Amino acid sequence: MTTSTTSPADGFRVWAPEAQRVDLVLDGEQHPMDRDVAEGWWIALDGAEPRAAVVDSDYRYLVDGEGPFADPRSRRQPEGVHGPSRVVASDPVPCDGTGWRGRSLIGAVLYELHIGTFTETATFDGAIERLDELVELGVDAVEILPVNAFNGVWNWGYDGVFWSAVHEAYGGPDGYRRFVAACHERGLAVIQDVVYNHLGPSGNVLPRFGPYLADGAGNTWGDSLNLDGPDSDEVRRYIIDSALLWFEEYGVDGLRLDAVHALHDTRAIHLLEELDAAVDALSADLDRPFTLIAESDLNDPKLITPRGPGGAGGYGLDAQWSDDFHHALHVALTGEVSGYYADFAPLGALGKVMEEGFFHNGTWSSFRKRHHGRRIDLERTPSWRLVVSDQNHDQIGNRATGDRLAATLDDGQLAIAAAVTLLGPFTPMLFMGEEWAASTPWQFFTSHPEPELGEATAKGRIAEFARMGWNEADVPDPQDPETYRRSVLDWSERSGGRHATLLTWYRRVIELRRTVPAFTDPAFADTTAIVDEATGSFVLRRGSATLAVNFGTEPVELALRVGELLDSFGEVVTTDGSLRLGPHAVAILHH
């Protein structure tokens, strides 16, 4: 049992090391708390025993007479982030009754979705109704954007303030449990996106209790946590306990760690290494594989290098995102070279990414105006440790109008995007609706009840886009409810026109990924890219399988031993020793 939350077993405990007095306000009644043996902890007693934490009772804390404040480790905020906390039944689920014993990342296809826009209901129960379509598509795991409590009704989820509480509008803790169990019943793993690099701007009670925040430190998105200063042991434990809760209490199979480059930690053992060790220990205890995936802007393979001693001195995480893959493929498809896309203009950038994992691996970055990244040890690092996508919530939502590739590319280009992503050497991730070329955008939306926060958010978005060269007049108001409503998927599209055509293609490509072993070969050495800058032809060899693509607008003829043509999209003609590809055509071959 973790110590991350108030539970019936543990009673009411809270860390407030600098407080002179802490009172529990339970169902409207005030009860003085006593200092626990543990330094800085307070416990509510009923005589000599811990006061019972009755399920569904509401409570808050007074700290030196100020407040009352919600529990920093709250499991539920039924009245929102500014309301009282509610006691939730503590019910570990090492096995949730479905017979599910977990799934590793190796060979998996991920599917990123946002509960608030995945269906019109914007709930876990509504999402359950669409899981069968994901199974039919062929994905292995769903990656869920953050679901912890935030102020307002809709939000991307990265403004959360209670890291162990499930957003009430989605269905709260019970709805989340139902969703995870429903995924497992269908053979789908669940990877939960979590944010430990900053706190949201509304409802953050942590500073009221103790030195949770780093002195004078923050990042682009909000206040940073105290990971290496005085009293940081308990702050780190706060984060790790929250992470373990998702595995132990809700049965998830992995966590996607948001923007770990923004974690400021100068201690000898980095928080990520400590977290990985704790998750490994829980995995062994529960006899289930657990996965940690980092999002990082650093292009540093240390994240996925084994821990020491005995390892290579890394953090030991299972995987990390490679944004370089997205950027290289995006430029090859669209020709956009503004902002950070500039360095990826040559088609050879995509070839380098395929063979080496990162494009920037010690190279000059014109966007950063410095050298960037480090080389991956290709002999010791399996390629599946890099998670890639041609679209994701950031790369769509952080465009001025939130436009998907389907808004500007033809069907052939979309088919190429699918084939390169799904049949390349890495772990592929799709973004919800991508598989049917959804016409709905995915824009940046918020619902801050505080007018000043809404105004500041809108101004911040405009400033972000200025560096990419986009017109501020094109940026929708994040606070406008229509910005949110435009972003909700329209599932009725799937049955006709280009949507049905692309959906059939995605299913077929995923099927080939499953049935041709070369497409999940984890060895970088077995992947070779052949690029022709002049014609736009791109040939990816993966052992006995070959992917041939024409990014260009004119037909190309390749001197290529064809073997078996497994499938194709667009104009493809095969003869002995040659392959003719029409504009924006793709062929999948096996020798």
Q: Which residues are annotated as a binding site for substrate?
A: 256-261, 323-327, 393-398
Neighbour order of strands in the sheet with 545-550: 527-532, 537-542, 545-550, 586-590, 564-569
Closest CA to 474 of 457, 460, 461: 461
Count of residues for the chain? 591
Catalytic residue among 168, 258, 435, 521: 258
34 tagged catalytic: no
Per the structure block, which two tokens stand in for 566? Answer: 């497994």
Q: Is residue 513 within 8 Å of residue 109, measured between CB atoms?
A: yes
Per the structure block, which two tokens stand in for 363? Answer: 């190279």
Catalytic residue among 253, 295, 318, 390: 295
185 tagged catalytic: no
Annotated binding site: 256-261, 323-327, 393-398
Alpha-carbon Rg for the chain in angstroms: 25
Residue identified by tokens 């003609």 is: 573
Residue identified by tokens 């594989």 is: 289
DSSP bridge pairs for 61 = 24, 69
Q: Is residue 556 within 8 Å of residue 580, measured between CB atoms?
A: yes
| 68 three-state secondary structure | strand
Q: Could you give the count of Cα atoms lying within 13 Å of 184 in the half-sphere of its Cβ?
A: 23
Residue 553 CA from chain centroid, whole number? 34
Q: Could you give the count of Cα atoms lying within 13 Å of 427 in the half-sphere of its Cβ?
A: 24
Q: How far apart are the first and last CA of the chain?
A: 53
Per the structure block, which two tokens stand in for 486? Answer: 């435009």
How far CA 11 is from CA of 4, 6, 14, 42, 43, in Å, comes to 12, 6, 10, 11, 8
Q: Mind telling me the catalytic residues?
A: 258, 295
